[in-house]
Amino acid sequence: MKILAIETSCDETAIALIDAKGGLKKPSFKILKNLVSSQIEIHRPFGGVVPNLAKREHLKNLPLLFDKIVKDQRSKIKDVSLIAVTAGPGLEPALWTGINFATDLYKKLRIKNKELRIIGASHLEGHLYSFFLNSKFNPPAGGLNSKSLFPAIALIISGGHTILIKMDSSVKYKKIGETCDDAVGEAFDKVARLLELPYPGGPEIEKLAKLGNPDAVNFPRPMINQKNYDFSFSGLKTSVLYYLRDNKDFKKEDVAASFQKAAFDVLIKKTLRAAEEFNVKSIFISGGVAANKTLQKKFRTIIKNKMPNIKFFAPSKKFCTDNATMIAAVGYINYLQGKKRKLVANGNLSL
């Protein structure tokens, strides 16, 4: 089944064309084209994403990316049987550009292809399913509903979300905790701004932290010992603010490394506690912050030492940050489930 997917929820305009097969038990995805046009340079002077600029850029980039796909994959476009487009969560003006573009395209392509369908997709389910796209594990050994993978704990860590999920199968899952205030990626972006690093802050902090001492400053680890699966990162960011105000001789590298360590300690501790409580077989992490190699390494090492029977999956970098391939995966899985999501932008769509 050929699927064309469109993602415009934030500051990346993305279109992908994939070939999906295998059904719900063993879905697998062949990526024919995965295009992402980043707007980072446009938003950088503002230190964050400006919704109206994002909308303007999506409107400009969508036809350009689609033309590229047509040029490259003309023969395959006419075989597309499903269009999937992100309906939320995200910036509503940005989401509408994708939905409108997808709807117009659907109307055009449907003239010759009466079987064509269109489906709205959740961006968060996209991150949740992005581990299926990892080239090394596509599909994860043994198939997706296999007894060797589930139950699992999934941690979505992005610029807008920090969510822990218990998965009984690829389609049966439940949110067990989330952030009460800032998302972890948002904390990285805000701390980066305090350190006068460019937007987006995550990759900059990761780079700088490699040169610093993670034990230089003992920043708080909010909610780490609470017996729930919720998070809080706004107090941690404020501690960094106070530290910078009260200490004039700090080394930026040390602050970056110590902040990163505090944030990751909380993420890892709570994820592993959930893994233990629910006796899971795998842990998946996804979203922009999951691209952080220091975090991946920490998870991998601690799981290997403490819970060697648990499998750990993190998507490759291009599938951690926003992309449309993950939206195509949601389209396929939702289509197989018979799940239909309205083509209406919903900025607060929850998992």
Task: Say whether residue 120 binds ligand KG4 (CB under 6 A).
Answer: no
**Minimum CB separation from Zn ion for residue 245, in Å?**
32
Nearest to 327 by CA among 125, 145, 131: 125
Stretch 3-32: interaction string toward ligand KG4, x if CB under 6 A = -------x----------------------
Which of Zn ion, ligand KG4, none does 125 bind, CB closer than 5 to 8 A by kind?
none
Which DSSP letter does residue 130 get? G
**Minimum CB separation from ligand KG4 for residue 40, in Å?**
10
Site for ligand KG4 in 196-225 (CB under 6 A): 200-203, 206
Instruction: Mark 73-112 as b/e (b = at least 16 C-beta within 10 Å).
Output: beebbeebebbbbbbbbbbbbbbbbbbbbbeebbeebeee
Q: Name the residues that contact Zn ion, by CB under 5 A.
A: 158, 322
**Continuous H helices in 78-91:** none
Report which residue type is found at 74.
R
Distance separating alpha carbons of residues 10 and 216, to the nearest angstrom: 35
Query: Using CB atoms within 10 A of its CB, is residue 154 exposed (0-12), middle (13-18) or buried (19+)?
Result: buried
Report which residue type is found at 202.
G
Percentages of the chain per state (helix, strand, coil), in multiples of 5: 45, 20, 35
Report the residue number, 108 or 207, with the smaller CB distance to ligand KG4.
Answer: 207
Please report, in angstroms and rounded to a whole number, the separation of the first and last CA atoms in the chain: 25
**Minimum CB separation from ligand KG4 for residue 221, in Å?**
17
Please name the residue that has the structure tokens 């218990």.
Answer: 166
Report the residue number, 9 or 258, with the smaller CB distance to Zn ion.
Answer: 9
Q: Which of 77, 99, 155, 291 binds ligand KG4 (CB under 6 A)?
A: 291
Q: Which of 97, 134, 162, 292 binds ligand KG4 (CB under 6 A)?
A: 292
Stretch 239-278: interaction string toward ligand KG4, x if CB under 6 A = ----------------------------------------
Which of ligand KG4, Zn ion, none does 11 bind, CB closer than 5 to 8 A by kind?
none
Distance separating alpha carbons of residues 80 and 67, to the nearest angstrom: 15
Site for ligand KG4 in 162-191 (CB under 6 A): 185-186, 188-189
Which of ligand KG4, Zn ion, none does 299 bind, CB closer than 5 to 8 A by kind?
none
Query: Distances in Å between the alpha carbon of 256 and those of 18, 120, 234?
Result: 38, 39, 16
Task: Say whether residue 158 binds ligand KG4 (CB under 6 A).
Answer: yes
**Minimum CB separation from ligand KG4 for residue 260, in Å?**
8
**Cβ(145)–Cβ(26) below 8 Å:** yes
Site for ligand KG4 in 312-351 (CB under 6 A): 321-322
Whether omega before 308 lies within 30 degrees of 0, making that bond cis, reads: no
Please count the residues of the chain.
Answer: 351
Q: Which stretch binds ligand KG4 (CB under 6 A): 46-54, 214-222, 239-247, 282-290?
A: 282-290
Which of ligand KG4, Zn ion, none does 321 bind, CB closer than 5 to 8 A by kind?
ligand KG4
For residue 319, give the 3-state DSSP assignment. Answer: helix
Q: Which residues bind ligand KG4 (CB under 6 A)?
A: 10, 158-160, 185-186, 188-189, 200-203, 206, 287-289, 291-292, 321-322
